[in-house]
Amino acid sequence: MTETLFESATEIAALLRAGRLSARELAGLVLDRVDAVNPALNAVVEIHREAALRAADDADVALARCERVGPLHGVPMTIKESFQASGMHSTWGDPEFSGFVADRDAVVVSRLRSAGAVLFGTTNVAQMLADVVECANPLYGRTVNPWDSTRSPGGSTGGGAAALAAGLTFLEYGSDLAGSIRIPAAFCGVYGLKPTAGTVPLGGFQPPGPPAGPSDLAYLSAVGPLARSAADLRTALSVTAGPDGQDAKAYRWQLAPSRRTRLADFRVGVVLDHPAAAVTAEVGAALSNAVDALDAAGAKIVTGWPDGVDPVRQADSFGFQVRQFLAFHGGDPDFATAAAMVEQHRLRMAARTAWDRYFSEVDVLLCPATCTAALPHLGPDDERPYHELGFWIAPASLAGLPALSAPAGRTPGGLPVGVQIVGPRHEDDTVITFAELAAEVVGGFTAPPVSG
């Protein structure tokens, strides 16, 4: 039954609805897999076994009664520990919050439950989500990469990416301020989507404490799904996106259809390297092979950065915006002058305009998700390559664009390589559909050689 554990969430939901598998049986398989494999990975940090089995039984009863069910009905899944889920710890990996147990669900958690998902556990994070290189904290320890235990799964959603790759869950939800979905997805060989800024509500995604008020600084921070197929990203986004609270009374959100439905119709921008964050030879070779396969399949390839996009300047501007975001959330409020903030706002909007203009002629842009494959675990005195890893994720984050990390081959040593697919604002399904079609010629998820 191991093959069942590596089905996509969308496919497994269809099997459950067709009666070919019971939710109770599936939950048991997943929990047994976690028992066998997780001790070596340390990816899932809290498990609510009995509650999950009860939820699975309820799912089976609903199907037996032919009740109307959601698209994730009966599907076991995990969520990043930084989301509040009623009855579960949400500590952000910080000893100061070790005793905090959420008494309510984050908006995303509530919507996933409403779609029928069986949320059975939480996954490890970097302490206070402050590391994209490693996934470790004093409370839960360090998560290792299922492809090579001497290497990191990336951060800060490293636990979720590792759990997905190893077959411990069918779906994961994470967060991405500075690459915390895209980098772990690339390091672990799974799919990860940072949606268009503001698409998925952030309510309940916060450090422990009273519910946080709304903030217009949400143009940087995004929450989004990780999965083993692009189709699962679409399913997860469709049930979690859309306005919340008062806004939900004013308008309804709908996923805009993809611009194209055939790979040969896509106009694909390509940038595979830059001196500011040079890709390794093995990553570059895998990405080049992927582009060659897309070209052979008929996609129109357009090379070079968009007019008006200076990636170095945009990376610097993104760094400023992150510091401003942190200042708003308790950091140094005097880190910059008002004049500097005004100038950076203008640069951000100029970047958005340049990308909007580019996507009037091109459908998606391909670039590295990371400049390297999964890094060896770093010691406390090792230099962390934040700049190099942050460079490639910065332009999409600065402009609030949807950006998806997808598997794009492996290095000669067998480590996954991820390609980043960036698309026009509010056209998330264009990047998802491209990733879905590209998998047919580039290859999609493959399971790592995890024992158990």
- Residue 179 domain-assigned (yes or no): yes
Supply the CATH number for residue 18's domain. 3.90.1300.10
pLDDT at res. 452 = 45
Given a contact cutoff of 8 angstroms between Cβ atoms, the answer to whether 431 and 423 are in contact is yes
3-state secondary structure labels for all residues of 243-265: CCCHHHHHCCCCCCCCCCCCHHH
268 and 245 share one domain: no
66 and 160 share one domain: yes
203 and 352 share one domain: no
169 and 273 share one domain: no
- Residue 255 domain-assigned (yes or no): no
Instruction: Tokens for 414, please give them.
Output: 């067998």
Instruction: Tokens for 285, please give them.
Output: 């070779």
243 and 330 share one domain: no
pLDDT at res. 127 = 98
- Residue 411 domain-assigned (yes or no): yes
pLDDT at res. 110 = 98
- Which of these, 257, 280, 256, 284, lies nearest to 271 by C-alpha position? 284
Does residue 8 have an active-site annotation?
A: no
- Residue 447 domain-assigned (yes or no): no
307 and 392 share one domain: yes
Does residue 180 have an active-site annotation?
A: yes
Domain boundary residue, one of 250, 277, 298: 250
12 and 113 share one domain: yes
The answer to whether the Cα torsion of 276, 136, 108, 234 is positive or negative is positive
**Number of structural domains in the chain:** 2
The answer to whether the Cα torsion of 375, 92, 231, 17 is positive or negative is positive
- Residue 450 domain-assigned (yes or no): no
344 and 229 share one domain: no
- Residue 200 domain-assigned (yes or no): yes
- Residue 451 domain-assigned (yes or no): no
Q: How far apart are CA 282 and CA 41, in angstroms?
A: 25
Question: What does the DSSP 8-state code read for residue 89?
Answer: B
233 and 92 share one domain: yes
- Residue 361 domain-assigned (yes or no): yes
Domain boundary residue, one of 202, 219, 250: 250
Instruction: Tokens for 30, please give them.
Output: 């997943």
Domain with 329, as residue range(s), is 263-442
Q: Is the pTM of this model over 0.95?
A: yes
| Residue carrying structure tokens 């422990």 | 208
Of these residues, 22, 80, 221, 258, which one is catalytic? 80
pLDDT at res. 281 = 98
pLDDT at res. 75 = 98
Query: Tens-digit pLDDT profile for the chain (452 aa)?
Result: 689 999 999 999 999 999 999 999 999 999 999 999 999 999 999 999 999 999 999 999 999 999 999 999 999 999 999 999 999 999 999 999 999 999 999 999 999 999 999 999 999 999 999 999 999 999 999 999 999 999 999 999 999 999 999 999 999 999 999 999 999 999 999 999 999 999 999 999 999 988 877 777 778 899 999 999 999 999 999 999 999 988 888 888 999 999 999 999 999 999 999 999 999 999 999 999 999 999 999 999 999 999 999 999 999 999 999 999 999 888 898 999 999 999 999 999 999 999 999 999 999 999 999 999 999 999 888 888 888 999 999 999 999 999 999 999 999 999 999 999 999 999 999 999 999 999 999 999 999 997 54
Helix (H/G/I), strand (E/B), else coil: 358: helix
pLDDT at res. 149 = 97
Domain boundary residue, one of 215, 250, 285: 250
pLDDT at res. 433 = 98
350 and 418 share one domain: yes
Of these residues, 156, 221, 258, 317, which one is catalytic? 156
Given a contact cutoff of 8 angstroms between Cβ atoms, the answer to whether 417 and 409 are in contact is yes
236 and 345 share one domain: no
Q: How far apart are the first and last CA of the chain?
A: 12
149 and 77 share one domain: yes
Of these residues, 22, 82, 152, 180, which one is catalytic? 180
